A and B are shown apart, each in its own frame.
Chain A
Amino acid sequence: ETGVTQSPTHLIKTRGQQVTLRCSSQSGHNTVSWYQQALGQGPQFIFQYYREEENGRGNFPPRFSGLQFPNYSSELNVNALELDDSALYLCASSLVEDRGYTFGSGTRLTVV
């Protein structure tokens, strides 16, 4: 098992900019989810992709968007960054049949 890897580990952006975060899913996992974890809070569900299509979305605005690729890697894109977007962004992959979610170490995004 290769686990879930995320890049970059840390990122600093300016308000109004756009950012792309990347995730490589665990081998064989067909589902990827993204979560936002603000400081001192539990992770909040952003969206999930299954077989390259969005399969569910949390309470996040459309400027949060994503992609899943045929090799099950994934991207999270955030446009028009706001200060409140500063958080740890976690990617989790799973087999939809298994409920075994494997998390990456996250990308720490700071918006200044």
Chain B
Amino acid sequence: AQSVTQLDSQVPVFEEAPVELRCNYSSSVSVYLFWYVQYPNQGLQLLLKYLSGSTLVESINGFEAEFNKSQTSFHLRKPSVHISDTAEYFCAATNGGSQGNLIFGKGTKLSVKP
């Protein structure tokens, strides 16, 4: 069965420092990958997604993630974080079938400190 593992439950960093949130997936079939962000008491917002093509995908607010098939990873990175990036981040995967339900990791809480 497909699964998604987020290796860090909490990541504290200082403002303007770089950050990497790790995500590994297990799937024997082709997979689509997503990162979602959830601010307190809110729903999920799509940050970026990999469907096909270039393995490096970027979001409009400076995050990027790289699909690495050999390592079955889709780590999220940002070179310089802001206080406003404090939130919980979820990695998710779905296979290429028509059902397409998302399998989520348990989330990583990013805390950006001044």
Binding site for B on A (CB under 8 A): 4, 6, 31, 33, 35, 40-45, 48, 50, 55-56, 58, 90, 92, 94, 96, 99-106
Per-residue contact bits, chain B 74-114, to A (CB 8 Å; 1 contact, 0 not):
00000000000000001010100011111111110000000
Segment among B37-45, B54-62, B65-73 that sits at the interface with chain A: B37-45
Whether the pair A56, B99 counts as a contact (CB closer than 8 A) is yes
CB distance from A97 to the nearest CB of B (A): 10
Whether the pair A103, B101 counts as a contact (CB closer than 8 A) is no
Binding site for A on B (CB under 8 A): 4, 32, 34, 36, 42-46, 49, 51, 90, 92, 94, 98-107
Whether the pair A106, B46 counts as a contact (CB closer than 8 A) is no
Which residue from A4, A42, A99, A104 sits with its C-beta under 8 Å from B104?
A42
Whether the pair A101, B46 counts as a contact (CB closer than 8 A) is yes
Whether the pair A48, B104 counts as a contact (CB closer than 8 A) is no
Which of B42, B101, B104 has most A Cβ within 10 Å?
B101
Nearest-CB residue, chain A, relative to B103: A45
* Cα distance A111–B106 in the bound complex, in angstroms: 23
Whether the pair B51, A103 counts as a contact (CB closer than 8 A) is no
CB distance from B105 to the nearest CB of A (A): 5
Complex contacts, A101 vs chain B, CB 8 Å: 34, 46, 102
Whether the pair B100, A99 counts as a contact (CB closer than 8 A) is yes
Whether the pair B101, A48 counts as a contact (CB closer than 8 A) is yes
Complex contacts, B43 vs chain A, CB 8 Å: 4, 6, 90, 103-106
Whether the pair A45, B42 counts as a contact (CB closer than 8 A) is no
Whether the pair A55, B90 counts as a contact (CB closer than 8 A) is no
* Cα distance A105–B38 in the bound complex, in angstroms: 10
Whether the pair A103, B44 counts as a contact (CB closer than 8 A) is yes
Whether the pair B44, A43 counts as a contact (CB closer than 8 A) is yes
* Cα distance A92–B103 in the bound complex, in angstroms: 13
19 contacts between A and B (CB under 8 A): A33-B101, A35-B104, A42-B105, A42-B107, A44-B104, A45-B102, A48-B99, A56-B101, A92-B102, A99-B32, A99-B49, A99-B51, A99-B94, A100-B46, A101-B102, A102-B46, A103-B36, A103-B43, A103-B46
